[in-house]
Each structure stands twice: as C-alpha cells, then as structure tokens.
Amino acid sequence: MPDAIRRVFARQKWMAIAVATIVLAGILTAVSPVFLTLSNLQSILVQSSVTAIMAIGMTFIILTAGIDISVGAILFFTSALFAQLMIDTESYLIAFSAAMTCATGLGALNGVLVVKFRISPLITTLATYSIYRGAAIHLTGAQNIPVPREMGFLGNGKIFSIPVPILILIAVFVIGVYAFTRTRFGVYTRAIGNSARSATESNLPVNRVTIAVYAASGFVTGIAALILLARVGGLQSGIGIGIEFTVIAAVILGGTKLTGGSGTVTGSVIGAVFLVLIDNGLNLMNASPYIYDIVRGSVLLAAVAVDRISAVRQQKAVEAARAARIQGAAIPG
Amino acid sequence: MMMNRAADTIAATDAKPVLSVRNLSKAFAGKTVVDDVSFDIHPGEVIGLVGENGAGKSTTKNMLCGLLQPSNGEILVEGEVVPHIDGPAHGISAVHQELSLFGSLTVAENMCISDLPGKPARVDWREADRIAREQLEFLGIEIDTQATIESLGSGRQQVVEIAKALLHADRVLILDEPTTSLTAVEREKLFAIIDTLKARGVAIIFISHFMEEIYRVCDKFIVLRDGKQVGGGYLSDVPQRQLEEMMVGRTIEDSKIDLHPPGEVEALRVQGLSAIDFDGIDFTVHKGEILGISGLMGAGRTEIAEAIFGLRAATGDVFVKGEKVSPITVKAMKARGVCYVPEDRRTNGLFLNRPVRENLSAAAILNFVTRSLRGIGFRGEKARASDVVRERDISVPSIENHVSDLSGGNQQKVLLGRWLSMAPEILIFDEPTKGVDIGAKFDIHATIAELARAGRAVVIVSSDLPELLHTTHRLLVMRKGHIVGEFQREAYDSVKIISLAASAGNGSNGNA
C-alpha cells in the first residue's frame, strides 16, 4: 500500500469500513439486479436509520471508554411510555416531550450511576437494562399498544421524495460530527477515553462530560424509539431486544476502539449500514433466518481480528525500520 | 501575553517572593504526610525539592498546584493568602511524573485542552494550533502540532507536556522527575529551556532523584524526610554527600563500594549474539565479577539481557560455565542457575495483588516447601518466606501483605529475594535501582557486591552511570546495538564513557 493511502487510512479511521461496505455493495450488485435500485438503497438506509442514530450516541459513550448495554431497554421504555401516553392523553405534545425527557433521563441516570458509584459501565447498564425493561412492561401491563395512524409519517413518510427517517439520520449525523470535531464536549469526550487521570489533572469536567455522553445517547435513542414505533405501527413486546448488539457492533466495525479515545461518528454510521447490507445480502440469497445472527457475530469477530492483525503488523514495521537503522549504523571493531 | 506578569516582576529583583508557603501540612485519614513545610520562591529562582520516595514531595506538589487542599498552613501568591489554589488563574502549573497527555489527540489539542480558544460550542482550532505553534517556537522545539501524541517518542511527549504546562504557568512551574524518560541530548535541551525560563523570571520547583541534575539546574534546595522539612538553603553551600545524608537521615558510607577482586573462572560467555536490536555481541563474565552494560536509551541493553535469558529470540551462542546452552530458553537458563531481574518490576516481575509470601516463592516453589505427598502441600513456605524477609531486610508488616502496599525499594528487595532464594550462580540485573529511594539503593548495591564476593557472576544493565561506576569491575559501553567500548574499573572516566555512548561518529577505539 502506498504511503499516502496508508496515511489516509490511519487518519480517517472509518476508511476501512467504508471500503468494506463498497466492496460488499459491489458484490451484491453483481449478484442481484434489484440491489442497485433507488428504492432498495433507500430501504437499506431506512432500515439502518434506527441503529445508525443509536450508534452515533453510542460512539460518544465508547469514546469515553464506557459502554451502555441498556440502550435497547431505553428504546423499549421510551416506546412504551409514548404509546401509553398517546392512549391516556391523546396529546402528541405531552407524549412526545415526556418520551424524549424520559429517554434522556434514563441515559443520564446510567451516567450518574457510573460516575457517582464508580461501578463499571458494563455492570451498571446490565443492571439498568433489566430495570428499564421491567419497568416498561410493568407500565404497559405487557400489552401491545397501537399508535395513531398519522405517526406513520415519521417512519414511512417522505419529504421531497426522501424518506423521513433518512432525513432525521442525516440531521443527527451532522450534529454528531459537529459535536465530535468542533465542540469542547467532543474533544473532552475523546480526552477522557484516552486517560481519565490526565483529564482530571488537566482540570477537565470529567464527571459532567461522562454524564452528558450517556444522556446524549439516551436522547438519540429516544429519537430512534419514535422512528421505530412509527415504522412498526405500535408497541410490541419484542421491541429493542438484542438491538444493543447491533448498535455496539456498528460502532466497533466503524473503527472505534472499545478502550476509548479513538473513533469516529462517520465510521459508526457506515458500520450500521454495513450490518443492514449483510442482512440484505442474506435476504437476496434466501438464506435461512437462523443464519443471520451467526453471520453478524462472525463479521464482528473478523473485524476485531483484522484490527488486531493490522496493529501487530504496524508494530512489526516500526521494529523493522529500527533494525534497518541499527544495521546501517554498523561499526567495525 | 504569556510572560508579561513575570517580566514585570523581574525588574524588582528579590523584592517579594512570587510564592510563599507557610507551615503547610497535609494529613490523610489522620496520617500526616506533609508536616509544617515553609519556604519562599522568588521569580527566576529554581528550587530543588528532594527527598526519598514517600517523603511527601508529591503531596507538596499537589497542594501547590491545587490538586489537593492543605489540612493546615497557607499558601501566598505574590504576598497574598490564597485559600484555594487554582493553577491556571494563579499562573502555577505542574508537569507530573506520569504524563497527563492524551495519546490519540494531536499536539495542539493536548496543549490547549485546559483552555480551548473560541466558544464551548465552537472551538477555534486554528487559534489553538497557532497558540501551540507559538509556544513550541518559543521553546525552540520543532514538533508538528497536528501529529498525534502516540506517534511521538517519549522524549518529545515530555517536551509537549512541559510546553503545555508553561501555557498556564507564567509564575511558577513545578517539574516532577522530568528527565526519567529523556535521552542525554533531550535532557540538555530541557536544561536549556529551564535556563531560558529562569531568565524570563519564571520560578521553578524541580523535583528529582538525580543529585547531579539538582546541582546542575537548582539555586536552592529543600529536603523533606518523612513529611518534615529537614533542611534547606543554597546548594552552593552544601556538598552532595551532605545533601544525601539529610535525605536519608543517616550517614552514608562512601558510595564507592569496595569490590572483591574477580575470579578467573568463566561463568557466562556470549558469542556473536545478534537480533533486531543488537548485532555481534561478544563478552565474558567471570565468577565473582560484576560487569556493567551502559548506553543510552534504545542502545539495546535491555534487549541483550532478555536475549541471554531466553525471553527474546536471537542468533549466536551463550555458554554457561563453558557449556553451550541450546536452545536458549528461560527454562534452560534457570536450570543452569542463571536468573534475570527485569527492569520494570511492576509489569514484568512482581505479582502486585498477591502477598509477599507468594511473590518470594514464585520462582522456586519447590525450594520453599516440603511435600510428603507428591505435588501437594505448601508446608514450610511461610517460614522460608519470613526468613527471606529478614535476610533481605524488607520492611513489611506481614508476609501476607500485598506487594502493591510496599514502597519501590522494598518491592525491588522482594524481587531480589525471590531470585536469590533460587541460589543462582549468574545474575542479570536490569536497572536494579530504578525508582527506589537512596537508602534502598545502597542496600541493593551492597547486596550485589556481597553476591560477587560469594563467587557469583553479575551483569548489571543500567542507564544510571554513577551506579555502574560504583558497583562494577568492568564496563561495556553500547551504542545503537553495538558494543563500542570496554573499560576496567581503574580506568573509569565518566566523561569518556558518556561521549562514547552518545557520539554519532564511528568510535571504533573505545578500549581503555
């Protein structure tokens, strides 16, 4: 690989997943004539919108070296609250503002627990996952609740012939990239993931930023919940189950390191699209539905392995360069 | 804008101190760590803060830069009592021993992160880059401000850290062991920077283990021992020996140890050892001999030691007591009585979260226990471990304490105790006294001399040249993976050795 290209790959950590996505799209184009149609591409983006939006929030959490397992439960709780309030009050305003406040609040609660009690985010959010989901089922009495027909606009409507979920995804994406690159919040987030100790010594508001990333993730999960509710047409008990896997996988595939500090919003969105492409391809191949999970898991494993191998190779290149220097400086006697 | 305040005050020389500390104390959970420390520092002055590990230097530093709140006493900035130090606002900043940098962020981002230009919702990165560039230029260093920190070497990282601290320290800069990861050249560069800052009226508090550095850069000194201020004044009035004695609180015997003459019998011979980091290494160590290997960071010293012990792949031959070892593996080396005490004891040597007892017995569990059933039982382990603790003078409440509770010096003694309990015949030490206090350092040197007297062969790899000069019979000098010189103890000449290790030319005539 020429140096210039390698540098682009090193700087733009999402390049790898972008190339993988293009290659996969190329294969699917060759295999199926319907793949490269506007409607199929639109449908792929619509299908990835929910996980992509959540992955944008998750990126910030993972950048701080945290994780939120409970996003699926927040998604479910928010959907349940919204659907229930629509039945009870018939007011979009109340239902909408309550749902968004609640989604943000549940995310923030995760952040507060992580910060105040210094419990590992994995355990904290594993616990709140169970609590949030249980609370939602308690709230709705485990019933399926339909949402009003006009909600469908959010999931299936179009503005200037572009599906609404895609527009929302673009908006969240732009805000996410801006926050990541241009704001203090963004740079603090990356800094904390690099080294919490250094962040404290540099006088950064570590606790506030940590709570804020979980709250922000909760907020975008709320948005995702409303889109999903609109697309499905009502609350179902299966909503959000297992979605945390897809969301976290998208972030990791996108090149964000679980150890924190390094990653991009762009990569996460492409990662989410990539995962839908895989489903799409399997669908075109008429694969058994049981295969899907196996393939998704294998892809994630392969991505992490490739990342490790390239890191090791880079290390070897550095060592080889040093060896060359030493041989060059060989001294007689 | 950065040096204005300081520049104003330098005109009125020794008018009033920029920072005064009065009866400063700090207690954690009832245990007093810093007790009644008082001093003044004037603009353009460099004060050396010295003391053994655990003497309270770091706690004092943390109170001065506002990371800790004093339990008692007061801090005055420009003559005014400041109840709560806010580093940036008062122009005080510290470079901590562990760098407070962010690996995947750029140099510019790192330097400006505490005070980013622009609005919170819109950071002015162009301005940040300009500030960073200007600051680095001011210090006379060329570093790409858009490079990520992890792409820089540790020396350059240190420089970025100092540049970052200086952005907010136009009055007082605190440097905590700033040279530990620097090469000789980078160290000189740092001293030049300190001289520049001094001339500009910045007051500097310099914390270091290296007495040579203290004497090189400081005007005054403060000695802490067990949290108490036991001495202070002008360095020009106090010889180094006296300063060291103040630190340890007892008289140090002449640091040049009396070595027993080495034997004639060959113990370890290395022939044509080569790998990525070194090439064509030949040397022999005799019984009762202490051989030092010196060189700059990256010269390949540690790599050689690891290769001999079988931790690193290499070509060439290693002979133990005249017998060729092949293949070179840790197991084969241990079986022949070779042991290796690694440089980074915390990651490579000790099991920090396990008791002292287990750490001592780990390398030779069968020497420690008596077993009536094959492979089962630990009878006698405690008694043996207690013996070792006594022999090696390890201060620890109980052999069941975790090694992480111990000070650096005692940790090193535990590691030493572990290997010595194997009754080794050849010992390879890598940086045996790195990060340990002076008292423990002398104990370790005495132990090494004792080992040689008892007929063991010892190889010491160290970047601490005075240490090698004091404790070895013979010294090899390495540069870029090659042995470039050999000195006998009678002919030791530190200036010659350093220039040989650091020179860029083809010094093929290092033999003295």
Greatest Cα pair distance in chain B: 82
- Provide the CATH number for the domain around residue A150: 1.10.3470
Residue B36 shares a structural domain with residue B75: yes
A195 at interface of B, judged by CB pairs closer than 8 A: yes
For residue B106 the two structure tokens come to 């750029």
Residue B184 shares a structural domain with residue B262: no
For residue B9, what pLDDT band results from cuts at 50, 70 and 90? very low
Nearest to B102 among A182, A261, A332 (CB): A261
A81's enclosing H/E stretch is helix A71-89
> Given a cut of 70, is residue B321 above it in pLDDT?
yes
Are A172 and A224 in contact by the 8 Å Cβ rule? The answer is no
Q: How far is A306 from chain B (nearest CA, A)?
A: 20
Nearest to B100 among A190, A201, A327 (CB): A201
Residue B356 shares a structural domain with residue B406: yes
Measure CA A229 to chain center. Answer: 18
Question: Hey, are the CB atoms on B114 and A327 less than 8 Å from each other?
Answer: no
**How far is residue B316's CA from residue B328's CA, in Å, rounded to a whole number?**
10
Residue B68 shares a structural domain with residue B86: yes
Question: Hey, are the CB atoms on A199 and B102 less than 8 Å from each other?
Answer: yes
- Provide the CATH number for the domain around residue B12: 3.40.50.300
A320 at interface of B, judged by CB pairs closer than 8 A: yes
For residue B249, what pLDDT band results from cuts at 50, 70 and 90? low
Q: At what angle do helices A206-232 and A38-63 cross, to 10 degrees?
A: 150
Convert the pLDDT of each residue in B131-190 to its tens digit: 999 888 887 778 888 888 887 777 778 888 888 888 877 788 888 888 776 777 778 888
User: CB neighbours of A255 closer than 8 A, spacing ≥ 6?
Assistant: A13, A14, A16, A17, A262, A263, A264, A267, A271, A307
Are B459 and B293 in contact by the 8 Å Cβ rule? The answer is yes
Residue B431 shares a structural domain with residue B496: yes
Measure CA B125 to chain center. Answer: 36
Question: Hey, are the CB atoms on A326 and B300 less than 8 Å from each other?
Answer: yes
Query: What pLDDT is stored for residue B5 in this prediction?
Result: 42
Interface test with B, best of A12, A203, A204 (most B CBs within 10 A): A203
Residue B207 shares a structural domain with residue B352: no
Residue A94, domain member (yes or no): yes
Does the CA dihedral A122-A127-A128-A132 come out positive or negative? Answer: positive
Measure CA A252 to chain center. Answer: 9
Tell which of B423, B442, B467 closes a domain.
B423
Residues of A in contact with B506 (CB under 8 A): 331-332
Tell which of B208, B223, B249 closes a domain.
B249
For residue B267 the two structure tokens come to 């113990």
Residues of A in contact with B502 (CB under 8 A): none
For the beta carbon of residue B128, count every other beta carbon within 10 angstroms. 22
Residue B286 shares a structural domain with residue B314: yes
Residue B486 shares a structural domain with residue B437: yes
Residue A333, domain member (yes or no): no
Number of domains in chain A: 1
Residue-number span of the structural domain to which B187 is assigned: 2-91+169-249
Tell which of B249, B270, B290 closes a domain.
B249
Q: By three-state DSSP, how is residue B512 classified?
A: coil
H helices within B32-73, ranges in order? 57-64
A183 at interface of B, judged by CB pairs closer than 8 A: yes
For residue A113, what pLDDT band results from cuts at 50, 70 and 90? very high
Nearest Cα residue in chain A from B121: A183
Residue B448 shares a structural domain with residue B508: yes
The interface pTM score, or ipTM, of the predicted complex is 0.78
Number of domains in chain B: 4
For residue A70, what pLDDT band results from cuts at 50, 70 and 90? very high
Residue B232 shares a structural domain with residue B267: no
Q: At what angle do helices A206-232 and A184-194 cross, to 10 degrees?
A: 110
**How far is residue B403's CA from residue B358's CA, in Å, rounded to a whole number?**
10
> Given a cut of 70, is residue A223 above it in pLDDT?
yes
Residue A36, domain member (yes or no): yes
B292 φ/ψ angles, rounded to the nearest 5 degrees? -105, 145
Burial class of residue A205 (count of CB atoms within 10 Å of its CB; 0-12, 13-18, 19+): middle
Question: Hey, are the CB atoms on A326 and B116 less than 8 Å from each other?
Answer: no
Residue B500 shares a structural domain with residue B461: yes
Average pLDDT over residues A100-107: 95
- Gyration radius (Cα) of chain B, Å: 25
Residue-number span of the structural domain to which A137 is assigned: 3-321
Residues of A in contact with B507 (CB under 8 A): 331
Q: Looking at residue B262, what DSSP letter applies?
A: P
Residue A78, domain member (yes or no): yes
Type of residue numbered A55: A
Residues of B in contact with A183 (CB under 8 A): 120-123
Residue B73 shares a structural domain with residue B207: yes
A12 at interface of B, judged by CB pairs closer than 8 A: no
Residues of B in contact with A330 (CB under 8 A): 279, 482
Cα-based angle B348, B352, B356 (whole degrees, multiple of 5): 110
Instruction: Return contacts of B14-18, CB within 8 angstroms, 24+ apart.
Output: B14/B42, B16/B42, B16/B78, B16/B79, B17/B41, B17/B42, B17/B76, B17/B79, B18/B42, B18/B43, B18/B77, B18/B78, B18/B171, B18/B172, B18/B203
Query: What pLDDT is stored for residue B8 in this prediction?
Result: 40
**How far is residue B312's CA from residue A64's CA, in Å, rounded to a whole number?**
35
pTM: 0.71
Residue A280, domain member (yes or no): yes
**How far is residue B133's CA from residue B231's CA, in Å, rounded to a whole number?**
41
